[in-house]
Amino acid sequence: MMVIHHDKSYTKMAADGAQKDLMVKDTTPSCNVMNECGLEPLQFSWLRAAVRLYNALNQSNSSTARKILFADMQLSSRCNGR
């Protein structure tokens, strides 16, 4: 299983560079600067990829893939106490 770590430093570096290019104040929020440049935070990319994976597994013709998905979700809910 692949473990995904979010690296905030990349997002911060991209926003800092964009702030200098746009000549805006340092207090301007990073998400606003990145949006102005047509960039989106990495969280949105990862979330979209996770949703695509979930949908692909859920709609798969393979009953094994669906069983694994639901077993993983049940295991996760037991670990989180839900």
Structure confidence by residue, pLDDT tens digits, 42-56: 778 888 899 998 888
| DSSP structural state of residue 27 | T
Instruction: Please give the residue range of the domain that contains residue 49.
Output: 42-82
**Structural domain includes residue 49:** yes
pLDDT in tens, 19-40: 777 777 777 777 777 777 777 7
**Structural domain includes residue 24:** no
**Structural domain includes residue 17:** no
Rg (alpha carbons) of the chain, rounded to whole number: 18
Cα 20 from Cα 28, distance rounded (Å):
11
**Structural domain includes residue 36:** no
Does the pLDDT of residue 7 top 70, yes or no? Answer: no
**Structural domain includes residue 73:** yes
Cα 19 from Cα 34, distance rounded (Å):
9
**Structural domain includes residue 35:** no
* Whole-number Cα distances in Å, 43 to 20, 30, 34, 46: 23, 13, 13, 5
Q: What is the mean pLDDT of residues 72-77?
A: 84
